């Protein structure tokens, strides 16, 4: 039987401040396995190390202890098998929507082995996937926040990663746009596709209801130092639509998760 797509074992990260002996143990003892096609959300109070963990999976930072593996192979740096998306739009302001989406394919390893025509077709497909047909020639400053995050998502997916790593990607959007993009994200992730045709996703959010709506499992972290406090399976059927938010089970799950982080969340802002 093949192993998990992503496996963290005993992962710790200690930061040392420059020119001082001060050390911060940001996270410790993080164990987590994510299966192919699984959507995992990570929640926890501010400063509990969510971004630290995601950055290590992305290969942007290395663990101080423990191992991170993708398909059983240790992560040693960034790679085309993983795609990262952050809260700030991180689009190239001088490139159009179409050029932003095609950037990795035209300039990086994701386009290796593809003909020009195949690259064009892949870009076109992703413009349509995020429903931006008609806006291809616009520049980021001409787009709404929601449209910009669609571009960022299309760029991420066009590069064909196996694992999607998202750090509060909807965090800067207004509440209504955010709800719409949550549904869109599930469609794009492949909610109606068989499990092994879906991407593997790790998604950080502060929004507990967002986590319940999106996830197969919610990882709840606690702080000082950051650890995995609990992993809550979300037993809501897929495909999910907006009405699921009004169901008793949805409310129970959100309440259970909030109960796990309430005290620390108050401490974090005190």
C-beta closer to Mg ion: residue 166 or 185: 166
C-beta closer to ligand ATP: residue 15 or 92: 15
Residues 233, 217: contact at Cβ < 8 Å?
Answer: yes
Query: Which residue among 4, 9, 14, 24 contacts ligand ATP (CB under 6 A)?
Result: 24
Task: State yes or no: residue 205 binds Mg ion (CB under 5 A).
Answer: no
Cα–Cα dist 202/218, whole Å? 10
Nearest to 97 by CA among 117, 119, 127: 127
Residue environment code for 253-269, b if the CB has 16+ CB neighbours within 10 A, otherwise e: bbeebeebbeebbeeee
Task: State yes or no: residue 79 binds ligand ATP (CB under 6 A).
Answer: no
Task: State yes or no: residue 51 binds Mg ion (CB under 5 A).
Answer: yes
Query: Which residue among 39, 41, 51, 152 contacts ligand ATP (CB under 6 A)?
Result: 51
Could you give the C-alpha distances from 232 to 196, 215, 257, in angstroms and in order?
Answer: 22, 10, 8
Site string for ligand ATP, 215-244 (x = CB under 6 A): -----------x------------------
Written as six digits, the tokens of 238 are: 């897929």
Residue 52: name its binding partner from Mg ion, ligand ATP, none (Cβ under 5 to 8 Å by kind).
ligand ATP
Task: State yes or no: residue 169 binds ligand ATP (CB under 6 A).
Answer: no
Report the nearest approach of ligand ATP to the CB of residue 211 (Å). 13
Mapped onto helix, strand or coil, the DSSP state of residue 74 is strand
C-beta closer to ligand ATP: residue 41 or 97: 41
Nearest to 81 by CA among 164, 178, 185: 164
Which DSSP string corresponds to 151-172? HHHHHHHHT--SEEEEESTTTT
Task: State yes or no: residue 183 binds ligand ATP (CB under 6 A).
Answer: no
Report the nearest approach of ligand ATP to the CB of residue 46 (Å). 4
Query: Which residue among 7, 50, 126, 148 contacts ligand ATP (CB under 6 A)?
Result: 50
What stretches of the chain show up as alpha helix (H) in DSSP?
50-58, 97-107, 116-129, 145-158, 175-189, 208-214, 248-269
Site residues, ligand ATP (CB under 6 A): 15, 24, 26, 44, 46-52, 226
């Amino acid at each position: 039987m093949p192993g998990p797509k992503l496996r963290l074992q005993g992962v710790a990260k200690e930061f040392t401040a420059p020119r001082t002996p001060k050390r911060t143990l940001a996270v410790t003892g993080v164990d987590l396995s994510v299966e192919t096609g699984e959507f995992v959300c990570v929640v926890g109070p501010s400063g509990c190390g969510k971004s630290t963990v995601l950055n290590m999976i992305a290969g942007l930072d290395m663990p101080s202890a423990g191992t991170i593996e993708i398909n059983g192979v240790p992560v040693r740096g960034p790679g085309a098998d993983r795609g990262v998306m952050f809260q700030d739009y991180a689009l190239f302001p001088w490139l159009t929507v179409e050029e932003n989406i095609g950037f990795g394919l035209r300039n990086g390893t994701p386009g290796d082995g593809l003909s020009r025509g195949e690259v064009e077709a892949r870009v076109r497909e992703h413009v349509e996937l995020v429903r931006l047909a008609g806006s291809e020639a616009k520049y980021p400053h001409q787009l709404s926040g929601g449209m910009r995050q669609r571009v960022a998502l299309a760029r991420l997916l066009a590069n064909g990663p196996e694992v999607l790593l998202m750090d509060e990607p909807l965090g800067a959007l207004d509440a209504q746009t955010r709800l719409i993009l949550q549904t869109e994200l599930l469609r794009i992730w492949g909610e109606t596709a068989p499990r092994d045709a879906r991407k593997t996703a790790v998604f950080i959010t502060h929004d507990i209801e967002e986590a319940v709506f999106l996830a197969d499992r919610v990882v709840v972290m606690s702080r000082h130092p950051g650890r995995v406090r609990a992993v809550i399976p979300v037993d809501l059927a897929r495909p999910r639509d907006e009405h699921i938010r009004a169901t008793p089970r949805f409310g129970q799950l959100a309440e259970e998760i909030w109960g796990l982080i309430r005290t620390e969340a108050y401490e974090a802002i005190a």
